[in-house]
Amino acid sequence: MSLLEERVLKIIELWNSGKDTPEIAAELQLEPSEIRRDELIAKEKIMRARLESPVELMQELQRRPALIRYVREKIEEPLIFTREKRYELIQTALDNGVYNLDALQEGINLSKSTLYKYKCETGIDITQILHNNLLARILELKIGGMDIEDIAEETHTGTKTVKRYLVEKGIIKARRFKRVSAEEDLEFLMLAKKGKSPSQIEEITKRSQPTIRKHLEKIGARPPHKKRHWKLVDKEKRNSLIIQGLPLEEIADLEGVSKQAIDQYLSRSGQRNAWKQKRYELTQRNPAIKEFLTVLYSRTRQIPPTDWALARTQEYIWAHKRSPIDKTYKVYAEYRQAKDKGEKPSYRQIAKKTGCHLMYVMDLFHFAGLKPLCREYHESEIPTKTMMKISRMGITIPDIAYFCGMSDNGVKLRLYEAGFRPKPRDVKTSTGMRKLTYRLASEIYEAKDLKFSDDDISELLDIDRKVVEYAIRKKREIAPTITDALRLIYPKCKKPYKSK
């Protein structure tokens, strides 16, 4: 028999999903006063059970994990047992087959330090006993004729864990794959010779690709790969370009291949050291030319530039003496011309028009303190100290940018200029699931308040439904952090999302 009534259990389930008392009352079609009364009755029953029958309470908690969180957060009761009594209750619970550690802790309000002291003083490994109790419960349910899925649901354990335990005890047999026969080996070989790929062989033979590859390698055959169209290389021409010490980009352009291809060729042919030596000789300037250029630079500084582009070019050349003057001037002149005409070209468009590399154009803009014309910039009124406070709350830079209405780079620059290096963290990271960030959680809560269903939110935000369910279930833990952060930016904010 359950400790609490079904209606009370439903209230606790709704509370765990992040709903408050008015929302729970509306869903169950009850008055808020009735909800509060039921909660008081539940608290009283749980507190009485802790005193009179703690082991039964533990067994109820492990059957209904939703109760564990409710007891942990709602029932604040000081420790009322002596050390000897607590140790006695722990031993009794373990002897009675309790297998859930959280249920053991909350059943008699134990802390982790108490369990650790118990282990040190008695020498009993609680974790191992809980594991044995869980295994015994699984075996008991299996012998009783229950399916593996039902056992997993009853014990709140994964089906894979249940199967592993049952296989270890010999209750069920491990799944054994059918051996590949000699006829199948021959079939793999014949299909591979016909040019079938492993995926096509898989469709025909109903065997997995790793199995197909493994058996083909055993019989000395290889599965066919996609044909690559290699370009024939004129080695004499390529070697002559390398001997001349030309830059990799120039050799790649002349050969019609990528820079990485030339770099790999240098390693394979063993000419890298010779090419480096030639490049070094070509880049070294005559002392007389160096002296002449030094005088030229010093005299040039005394001559006032005739236009804005030339002035920026001179500044950049003085700081980077190896930079090409004509290309540098072209970029700055193109920027000035576009700005005067009201055009808004991007970095890439300017690079294409001037024939310069994209990274070189970006470096020139950054050196002169210029911003791309294709974007609209505005100074944010939010102080940098506010951003630093929000970052210390564990909120990432992209999330701060979303809450402040700025770009990621804008926030990063403001924080870095202030000498602040954030160490952010996401709300949750899970294998096979998208990261739950504070921005995503905020968008989920906003959509939920607009009466969107979980499936609609999942489709709208292009995320797994499990992420939506997790965010809603953990609303009481996540939402306060978002609300506190938004209040630093918008003092009148009362919701865990931006509103008009």
**For the chain, what percent of residues have pLDDT higher than 70?**
82
Write down the pTM of the prediction: 0.36
CA-CA-CA-CA torsion sign (399, 405, 407, 413): negative
Domain assignment of residue 242, yes or no:
yes
Q: Domain check: are 12 and 117 in the same one?
A: yes
Contacts of 35 (CB under 8 A, 6+ apart): 11, 21, 24, 25, 28
On whether the CB atoms of residues 248 and 261 are closer than 8 A, the answer is no
Q: Give the model confidence (pLDDT) of 36-80 as tens digits.
A: 887 777 777 777 777 777 777 777 777 777 677 777 666 765 555
Q: Domain check: are 312 and 268 in the same one?
A: no
Domain assignment of residue 145, yes or no:
no
Q: Domain check: are 416 and 428 in the same one?
A: yes
Domain assignment of residue 377, yes or no:
no
Contacts of 221 (CB under 8 A, 6+ apart): 188, 189, 192, 193
Domain assignment of residue 494, yes or no:
no
Averaged pLDDT of the chain: 78
Please check the confidence at residue 496 and state whether its pLDDT lies above 60.
Answer: yes
- pLDDT confidence bin for 228, thresholds 50/70/90: very low
DSSP states along 323-388: S-HHHHHHHHHHHHHHHHHT----HHHHHHHHT--HHHHHHHHHHHT---TTS------S-HHHHH
- Least Cα distance to 255 among 241, 273, 243, 276 occurs for 241
Q: Give the model confidence (pLDDT) of 393-418 as tens digits.
A: 888 888 888 888 887 777 887 787 77
Domain assignment of residue 374, yes or no:
no
Domain boundary among 107, 124, 141: 124
Q: Domain check: are 270 and 326 in the same one?
A: no
Q: What distance, in Å, lies between the first and last C-alpha atoms of the chain?
A: 51
Average pLDDT over residues 461-470: 84
DSSP states along 207-257: --HHHHHHHHHHTT---------PPPP-HHHHHHHHHTT--HHHHHHHHTS
Residue 360, CB half-sphere, CA atoms under 13 Å: how many? 19
Please check the confidence at residue 391 and state whether its pLDDT lies above 80.
Answer: yes
Domain boundary among 124, 144, 171: 124
Q: What is the pLDDT of residue 375?
A: 57
CA-CA-CA-CA torsion sign (20, 23, 29, 33): positive
Q: What are phi and psi of 436, to 5 degrees?
A: -90, 105
Q: Domain check: are 201 and 273 in the same one?
A: no
Domain assignment of residue 27, yes or no:
yes
57-to-2, 38, 48, 157 alpha-carbon distances in Å: 10, 18, 10, 20
Q: Considering its fold, how many domains does the chain have in total?
A: 5
Of the two residues 492 and 84, the one the predictor is more confident about is 492
Q: Domain check: are 327 and 358 in the same one?
A: yes
Please check the confidence at residue 430 and state whether its pLDDT lies above 50.
Answer: no
On whether the CB atoms of residues 63 and 57 are closer than 8 A, the answer is no
Q: Is 100 left (phi over 0), alpha (psi -120 to 50) or beta?
A: beta
Range of the domain at 205: 182-218
Average pLDDT over residues 158-170: 79
Domain boundary among 162, 191, 218: 218
Q: What is the pLDDT of residue 40?
A: 79
**For the chain, what percent of residues have pLDDT higher than 90?**
1
Average pLDDT over residues 437-465: 86
Q: Domain check: are 480 and 390 in the same one?
A: yes
Domain assignment of residue 303, yes or no:
yes
Q: Domain check: are 276 and 296 in the same one?
A: no
| C-alpha to C-alpha distance for 285 and 38, rounded to whole angstroms | 89
Q: Give the model confidence (pLDDT) of 305-339 as tens digits.
A: 677 888 888 788 777 656 778 888 889 889 888 88
